[in-house]
Structure formats: C-alpha cells, structure tokens
Structure 1
Amino acid sequence: MGMLLNSYIVVSIIVGVHVFEQVHADGGCNIYRGRWVYNPLYRPAYNATSDCPFIEAEFNCLNNGRPDQQYLHYKWQPYSCILPRFNGRNLLRRLRGKKMMFVGDSLSLNQWQSLTCMLYKAIPGAKYSLTRQGPLSTFTFPAYNVSLMYNRNAFLVDIVFEKKARVLKLNSMNGGVSWKGVDVLIFNSWHWRLHTGRKQPWDFIQDTNKTYKDMNRMVAYEKALKTWARWVNSNLDLTKTMVFFQGVSPDHMNSNEWGDPSQKTCKQETRPVNGFKYPGGAHPVGVWL
C-alpha cells in the first residue's frame, strides 16, 4: 500500500495537478499527515491478475496465494484534505511526449511497476511496448509517446570491476549517462548498502584515491549522496528536468517498532500501522535527505 501511495504522491506533484478537493482555511495540505482508512467498497487502482498482463510474478500477491484481501480496500486519507482517485488518462495527456525514469533499488522497481499497471488500467487494451536492456527497463505508450523507465542502480554511484574485484566508487557517476535527456527523474537508495557477506555486491570501497575493505555505511552513504547531488547540479538543466529523491522506508525487521511483539518481522502482518508517524521513529539516514 505504501508503494501505491508514494507513486500517487510523486506523480501528483510532477504533473502539477491540484489534487485537493477540500483544504483547511489555514491554507495548504500536508498529504503525508493522515491515516489508512478501511472501506470494503473501495477498490484498488488495478487488479494485478486481470488488469496488468505484464506485471512481474512476484508482485501478484493474489496469484501467489495471499489468503487475505483486506489490504485491497485501504485508502490513504490526509487529515486536512481529500485526495481524489488517480486519473490515468489525465496523467498520460500531461506526460505526452515525455520520459519519466525511476532510478534505484526495489522501491523504485515497485513504484515503476505499479505506475505502469495503473496507467494501463486507465486505457485497457492500449498498445504498449516493454523492453529490457541490462539494468534499464522501458515501458512505452506509443499513442502518447510516453516512456516510463526503471534503471536498476541501487547505489547511484558506480561499481567497477578492477583486478578481479568489484569496487564501489563513492566519487564516480559514469552510470548517470542514461539519466540525461529524461524529463522526470525519481531516485532512491539505501537498503542495499546494509548487505554483507554473499549479498554484498562489492569487494572494496574507494573514496577519492583511497581504497578500503569496508567503512561505516552511513559515512559511505553520505559521500555517495554528495557525489550524486554534485552530478545532478552539474549535468542536468533543472529548468527542464524535474528531480526527486525519495525518503527511506523503515526496515521492518523488528516488530517491537510497530507495537506487535508477537511477530519477529512484518511477514505475517496484514494491516497498516495506525497514524502518520512510524512508531519506531525516523530512519537514521534521514539526516542526509
């Protein structure tokens, strides 16, 4: 559900739609302050089984045997305004002739996949193309000349093979060449930086001209984000390209953080956390965002 909420919020901001039907007299509406409301009559923006023929198998919860269906009937309700239903046709008209790219890890993949399904549901049977080349996936609606892309790049900075070793270069952004010429860029990065052992996709970390076997992951994250920010400011025309960096989602590995000590992780949870603040507190890397 958070995936759908984030996709909706990002897209609403991007296209400049006035998404608020009611706003308090004090002006403005913080769409992040609200709660999940259950309504059995509410339907999701698409049914993964019947409305999205190209959805990746791991994202089709019902086909994969999820027994409960209550999660399909929750709606995010801000405290000070009402969000209208997602309008896919309107978004496609506003994006006509443009390119949008999600760059990052599985969070970006989830949102890219969700958005493509939401738009296809809005124009069922429309012609589309889906191509994959290396880390880049491109979904296109030819009738609107709209391209929605996902670039798998969990670290944003480069990982380079040198002397039979994989080196994470905190000051190198050669992979950013594929981001040029895109109208809307949406970035995220963090969780892969925690991996160790066999799941760690690098052998060494290089910072300027020094190479380390490992280093404080928070420090490495800060250095990489500064490299990314410098690249954005130096290589993109921000009057033509809209750039967003998404926040970091909680790790969901300690059930005490959301007040359910009976569970070890979020694996068996079926309902969203109440309130707009995560009970476990803000993620520590938020200081750099």
Structure 2
Amino acid sequence: MRKNTITPKRLGVNMQMKPPSSRSSRLSPLLLILLAFILFASVLYGHNLLFISRQHPHFSDPPARPPEKVVRLQQKAVPFAIGRTEEGCDLFSGRWVRDEAAGPLYEESECPYIQPQLTCQEHGRPEKEYQHWRWQPDGCDLPKFNASLMLETLRGKRMMFVGDSLNRGQYVSLVCLLHRLIPQDAKSMETFDSLTVFTAKNYNATIEFYWAPFLLESNSDNAVIHRITDRIVRKGSINKHGRNWKGVDIIVFNTYLWWMTGSKMKILLGSFDDKVKDIVHMSADEAYRMAMKSMVKWVKQNMDPNKTRVFFTSMSPSHTKSIEWGGREGGNCYNETRPMEDVMYDWGGEAERSIMRVIGQVFGKSRVGITFLNITRLSGYRKDAHTSIYKKQWNPLTPQQLANPTSYADCVHWCLPGLQDTWNELLFAKLFYP
C-alpha cells in the first residue's frame, strides 16, 4: 500500500536553504533541557490519559472533558499498580474454556470460611463440572492470581467489600484464595453486627465485609434479619454506613439485587425515628441513580486517589427462567451443568439494562476514579454455577418443595469455589494491571 507521506516540498518549505553555521548547529543546554522535559511530559501524560480512558471502557458515550482537566486527575502512578493491561485487551469480553488441569483455585473442604449457603458439595451436589471452567478473554490472557503478591500488598492495610450477599460471596472467595498462606494461629474471622473482619495477623492486614445492600440507610440493614418485602431507603444517608468505611485502602462496592422489587421504591426523606414518615415513591432506576450519586460523592470526599483504590462490581445475573436461554418452560438453573455456548446471549431485560445505563451515566459524568468490574456478561453465561438446591436452607423444606426441586432452587447465589473466584481474578488484574 502506498503511504501518504508528507515531504518538505508538500509543506511548502524552501529546500534552497543555506547550510547552518557551526554556531547555530549546536543545541544550547537550555534547548536540550526543554526537549527532554517535553519528551518526559508526553510519556507521563500519555500513560495517564490511557489509564483514564480505561476506567469505564464499556460506556460508549461519556461526556466530553477538557483535556487539561483530565490530565490533572491522574498525574501520579495508579496506587498498587505494578504494570498495565496490554493495549486493546478487554478482560471482560471472552469465553469460558473447559480446563480440567486448572481445576478450582482451592477446595471447598479446605476453606472454613464459606457460609453453608454456598457449600454445594457439602450439601449434595453430585458433580464438580462448574469448578473446571476458565475465563479466557478475547485476544489476551487473564493474569494469574498471585496470593503472595496480594497479601504483601495488603500488609498494614485494610481492604473492604461493601454491599449485599453477592458481594459477601466475592469477599469470602478472596479470603479462601489467601488464607492458606497464613498460619492457623495467625488468622481469624469475627463478625460485629454488619461488619465481618478477616485478620491476617502477621501481615497486620484486614479484609472486611460490610453489609449494606442499598449502600444508603434502609430498613433492611440488619445483617441477619433483613428479608423485608416493603423496603424503604433513606435519601442522603450514605454517611450512616460510610463512617465505618473510612480509612480503608481498597474498597469494592456492589448494589443491585435489592433495588429490583418490580415496583416503585419507597424513599424516606426524613428520619426512621420520625413518628410521621415523609415517604415518596421513585422508579427503581431513579432511586438507583440517587444511590450511585451518593456513593460517588462519598468516594470523592473520603478516598485519597493517590493512595487508595475504589472498585464497583456490576450486576450479578440470576437464571430463574430457562426459557430465556432456550430451555424448557418452567425450568431454571436446577440441573444445569454447563455454561451457555451462545456467545450472543445477552442476559437481562429492560429493567436490568436501565440500571446499567444509570451506572454508565453516573460514572461517565464523574471525575472520581472508580474502576468498574463488569462481571455481568461473563457471569450471564454461567447458568451452571448457582447453588441451586445444594445449600443449607433457612427453613425446613415442605413436601411440595421436595417433590419439585425447581421450585426452591437458588438461582441467584453462586457455589464456592466457582464463578466468584474469577471475579477476584479480574479484581486482581485491575488492581495490579489497570
């Protein structure tokens, strides 16, 4: 192919110039210093602009920002980064590959921290197929999880997961990935109301989970008794929980499932202590937007971008209607043992897409550095990885449930080890190779 080169003649430069004198051919020390500075600045700012462009790669139309302000956001290296993801690599786009050799990253029986709601083998799951699938991004590879590096990075620091039971599953997964490197007498896990703390004593480090399904204050904030159908969320109340998040070095937020009530959300404008409560009704996406804005504001006010990292995990798909992926009508995730092979499968309806649009709009307008972990599509393929009926139930099963397993299968939560370990591999990649 012929290159469209730009010659001096095409630029209109007079080629009959006199040879420069020996004096003018020498570059002055000042000019050399200026050229060196320009080269250094181009490398530094070029890297930072590249980092910013990767913060929200799945949002197609972020608002335009003045270049000089964008550069000012990230003039220093990203905290905890030791490298960067290769150019053009989207870790969240790819396929699931059967990999018997890789196997799970830990054994269910080896990790005592998994809740009985997630121990599928202990509760009778007859096969382990769900443990032998590896996520393969398109055109690149997912960095191998390095537990030693993670623990050394957390030395003297706090890491916290904030959100609902799905975020708690990711939290427990990370603890299981790390705890084998810590002597038995040098680790502990304790729960204090909404806060669960895993301590690695010889690292002076904690990995914590804080129960806040809406992030804002709500009538569902009791970490044990929270099965409330008439949910109420208090507007502008993120500091009620946020005071417990201050001082963390790495924080991973999630909130989604509890907003999907199928009806209007009740938003409290006053206090839960008011005798007469001032309540307004909002659509789910309007209420969710309110929470996202509160979270971004809290991060801006309380997290130092030069020292801390903030992540947000996207929606975790449920698989309650097998007809959506070509299965039988009336079925769900029960008895599913393989991921979906249709790479065009797009989980979720209009309500879910509306929530994703809200995330994109709020994060796109924000100048706060929050790294988005888009686990939605890759998890949407994993209809096989749910706890289904293989979990400890809150209540004894009825004869009707026993006769029809599909009726009580949990198609929301995930077996451990399993899919959520991949979420943490992606978190690891974005923490160290943004």
TM-score (norm 2): 0.55
User: Considering only CA atoms, is the larger Rg found in Structure 1 or Structure 2?
Assistant: 2
Q: Describe the shift of the 1:104–1:213 C-alpha distance in structure 2 as closer, same or farther (beyond 3 A).
A: same
Q: Distance in 2 between matches of 1:253 and 1:60?
A: 20
Q: How far apart are residue 111 of structure 1 and its match?
A: 0.5
User: Where does 1:55-94 land on structure 2 (aligned, <5 Å)?
Assistant: 55-94=114-153
Q: Distance in 2 between matches of 1:166 and 1:262?
A: 31
| Structure possessing the higher relative contact order (Cα contacts under 8 Å, 6 or more residues apart) | 2
> What residue is the counterpart of 2:357 in the other structure?
287
Q: Describe the shift of the 1:277–1:212 C-alpha distance in structure 2 as closer, same or farther (beyond 3 A).
A: farther
Q: Distance in 2 between matches of 1:186 and 1:277?
A: 29
Q: Describe the shift of the 1:207–1:258 C-alpha distance in structure 2 as closer, same or farther (beyond 3 A).
A: farther
Q: Distance in 2 between matches of 1:274 and 1:30?
A: 20
Which structure features the higher share of helix residues? 2
Question: Per the alignment, in what secondary structure is the counterpart of residue 108 of structure 2?
Answer: coil
Residue in structure 2 matching 1:156, options 205, 215, 223? 215
Q: Which amino acid counterpart does residue 288 of structure 1 have in structure 2?
A: V
> What residue is the counterpart of 2:167 in the other structure?
108
> What residue is the counterpart of 1:194 in the other structure?
260
Q: Distance in 2 between matches of 1:19 and 1:58?
A: 36
**Conserved 8 A contact 1:45-1:121:** no
Q: Which amino acid counterpart does residue 169 of structure 1 have in structure 2?
A: R
Q: How far apart are residue 124 of structure 1 and its match?
A: 6.1
Q: Distance in 2 between matches of 1:207 and 1:94?
A: 41
> What residue is the counterpart of 2:417 in the other structure?
none
Q: Distance in 1 between matches of 2:149 and 2:290?
A: 39
TM-superposition CA deviations, 1:52-103 (whole Å, max 9, x none)? 1232222211111111111111111112112243211121112211110000
> What residue is the counterpart of 1:205 in the other structure?
267
- 5+ residue gaps, structure 1: 1-12
Of stretches 252-261 and 137-146 in structure 1, the one that deviates more from structure 2 is 252-261
Q: Distance in 2 between matches of 1:228 and 1:211?
A: 23
Q: Which amino acid counterpart does residue 161 of structure 2 have in structure 1?
A: F
Q: Distance in 1 between matches of 2:345 and 2:246?
A: 35
**Conserved 8 A contact 1:187-1:244:** yes
Q: How far apart are residue 262 of structure 1 and its match?
A: 4.9
Q: Distance in 2 between matches of 1:17 and 1:159?
A: 39
**Conserved 8 A contact 1:32-1:276:** no
> What residue is the counterpart of 1:30 in the other structure?
90
Q: How far apart are residue 216 of structure 1 and its match?
A: 1.5
**Conserved 8 A contact 1:99-1:147:** yes
Q: Distance in 1 between matches of 2:339 and 2:231?
A: 39
Q: How far apart are residue 267 of structure 1 and its match?
A: 2.9
Q: Tell me the C-alpha RMSD between the 2 structures.
A: 3.0
**Conserved 8 A contact 1:259-1:279:** no
Q: Describe the shift of the 1:257–1:125 C-alpha distance in structure 2 as closer, same or farther (beyond 3 A).
A: same
Which structure features the higher share of strand residues? 1
Q: Which amino acid counterpart does residue 114 of structure 2 have in structure 1?
A: I
> What residue is the counterpart of 1:270 in the other structure?
337
> What residue is the counterpart of 2:105 in the other structure?
45
Q: How far apart are residue 45 of structure 1 and its match?
A: 0.8
Q: Describe the shift of the 1:167–1:33 C-alpha distance in structure 2 as closer, same or farther (beyond 3 A).
A: closer
Q: Distance in 2 between matches of 1:70 and 1:124?
A: 31
Q: Number of paired residues?
A: 264
Q: Describe the shift of the 1:223–1:29 C-alpha distance in structure 2 as closer, same or farther (beyond 3 A).
A: same
Q: How far apart are residue 227 of structure 1 and its match?
A: 1.8
Question: Per the alignment, in what secondary structure is the counterpart of residue 75 of structure 1?
Answer: strand
Identical counterparts, % of pairs: 36
Q: How far apart are residue 128 of structure 1 and its match?
A: 0.4
